Amino acid sequence: MVTQLQSQGLASRGRVRWPSQQEDERSRIEAGFTAWLDDITAVQDIFSRHVYNNPECSDFDLRQHRVLLYKLLAIGEELVVDALACHQEQPILESYIKLGDQKLEELRTVLHEWHGPVEDTSLPESLKSAFKELQAGSLTDLEFPR
């Protein structure tokens, strides 16, 4: 289905190219980011057809949506970690790290918008309240009795 998902062994269609031993680390990371960004673009049509614009969207559709979002998040996080760990031409990779973080935030936002933020889970009310206070910037330090 999608190149990066295939190369990670997460999709079943197509052939997977073995990495060349002569491929340098920066080129491998750049190619990974390019494939990941292509995957994000490619799944948008799938998401639109089966989830966003589907009046009969089912639990099965939503589960598949989450699966692809989680896979894209995992791949993106791994690419950012690889870029952070790469010692070759770090300034060039910084733009990939910044773009990766931006795309990861967008994917997390979609995940939360479609599948619920923290306050919709079965967490204790006190923890939900603390998350809301933290998000609003109104969390205060605890005062302990002396």
DSSP letters along the chain, please? --HHHHHTT---SS--PPPPTT--HHHHHHHHHHHHHHHHHHHHHHHIIIIIT-TT--HHHHHHHHHHHHHHHHHHHHHHHHHHH--SSHHHHHHHHHHHHHHHHHHHHHHHHHH--GGGSS--HHHHHHHHHHHHT---------
pLDDT digits 0-9 by tens, 75-118? 999 999 988 887 666 677 888 999 999 999 999 999 988 887 65
Q: What pTM did the predictor assign?
A: 0.65
Give the per-residue pLDDT at 5. Answer: 62
